[in-house]
Amino acid sequence: MTVQDTIKSLREKHGLSQDQLAERVMVTRQAVSRWETGETQPNTDTLQLLSKEFDVSINTLLGRPRQLICQCCGMPLSEDEVISKEPDGSFNEDFCKWCYADGKFAYKTKDSA
C-alpha cells in the first residue's frame, strides 16, 4: 500500500474528514488532500503526529518500505502490535514489546535475553 492510500484509508477508518485530520495534525486541508493524491508526503514531524493520531507505526504509514527487526532479540517486527512503545505512547521501531516497554528494557544484561 502506498503512503497516499494508507493515509486516506486510516482517515476514513477513523471517520475523519480531511478538515478534521488537518486540524488534529496542525496542517491545512489542502496538505491532507495533497498527501492523499500523492502530490506530496508528510514531513517527519507530521508523520510522528499521524502515527500517534492513528496509533500505527511510521513504517506502516509509509507502506512498510523496510522490514523492521528487534535490535535486542532479532524478532521481525512485521505488525504494529509487536512494536514497542515509549511512555508517551509513541512507537519505538527498534525493539519488540517484549524486550522494551514503557521506556525500559526487560533484560538487565545481554546474557539474560
| pLDDT per position as a tens digit, 68-107 | 999 999 999 989 999 999 999 999 999 999 999 888 999 8
Q: Choose the CATH number for 1-61 among 1.10.260.40, 1.10.274.30, 3.50.50.60, 3.40.718.10.
A: 1.10.260.40
Longest dimension (CA), the chain: 52
| pLDDT per position as a tens digit, 17-62 | 999 999 999 999 999 999 999 999 999 999 999 999 999 999 999 9
| 3-state SS assignment for residue 84 | strand
Query: CA-to-CA distance for 34 and 99, rounded, in angstroms?
Result: 38
First to last CA, the chain: 34
Residues 61, 3: contact at Cβ < 8 Å? yes
Query: CA-to-CA distance for 42 and 34, rounded, in angstroms?
Result: 9
Name the pTM for this structure.
0.78
Give backbone dihedrals phi and psi of 37, rounded to 5 degrees, phi first.
-95, -5
The domain locations on the chain are 1-61, 67-113
- Look at the chain and count its residues: 113
Closest CA to 27 of 55, 48, 6, 9: 48
Higher pLDDT, 56 or 110: 56
